Amino acid sequence: MKHYRVSAFVFFILSLVTGCIPRSSVPELINTPATITLTPTDPFQGEAAKLKPFLGNMTGAFILRYDSNGKKTQVNLDIEIWNYGKKVKSVGGIGDIFFTPNKEDRKEIELIISIDTVAVLGQDNMNHIKIGIVHESGTTLYGLSPPTDHKVMGRGIISYHEPQSFIAQGTIRVWGMQMTSANHMITADFSQESLSKVEQAILFTLRFDD
């Protein structure tokens, strides 16, 4: 029996090397779905606490890690306005957030997002959105100022508090800010049921291009 087991083991190894075992029985890592892992971080930890007066309370940060055994698709960050659980319009975004000029594989970035609602005399209020992308080469900063016709009485952050993993396809909501014209807020998350109760929200969504 011992001799049989040794012979069977040798046959198995040789079969892997020579390809005698059908390919379907050998796991193909290339078919493993790509994943995005989101890990929340504290944007005001340590010395960064001194930046809070400049960025404000409507600020969040998280690390995105992109793992893939095959060719990666482009990842875009879209900024959308939602009313009571329905997307109303897109107001901007950033394309290819994992971009690297030397075509090396960039797996991890940190996003820092801050929103200030600024009143403009005689005009609609402006949501001044600041986005920082931190990577191994430095930091890239973006600024967008989409107008809003919404009378804001209260604001609150919608975010994840624990690490999350997603299949890298379709769209993924990663951060947001809810707004209300009333003097009360609700506790909200990214589920459709929860968003259907939110008067208005700015949602930041990952979108994957083939």
The whole-model pTM stands at 0.81
What digits encode the pLDDT tens for the residues 154-207? 899 999 999 999 999 999 999 999 999 888 888 999 999 999 999 999 999 999
- Residue pair 158/176 in contact by the 8 Å Cβ criterion: yes
Residue in the block written with tokens 């011992």: 2
What digits encode the pLDDT tens for the residues 93-126? 999 999 888 777 889 999 999 998 777 666 667 7
Q: What residue type is 68 in one-letter code?
A: S
**40: enclosing H helix or E strand:** strand 35-41
Residues 98, 105: Cα–Cα separation, whole Å:
9
| Beta-carbon contacts of residue 40 (< 8 Å; ≥ 6 apart) | 60, 61, 62, 159, 160, 161, 162, 163
What digits encode the pLDDT tens for the residues 36-92? 999 999 998 888 888 888 888 999 999 999 998 887 889 999 999 999 999 999 999
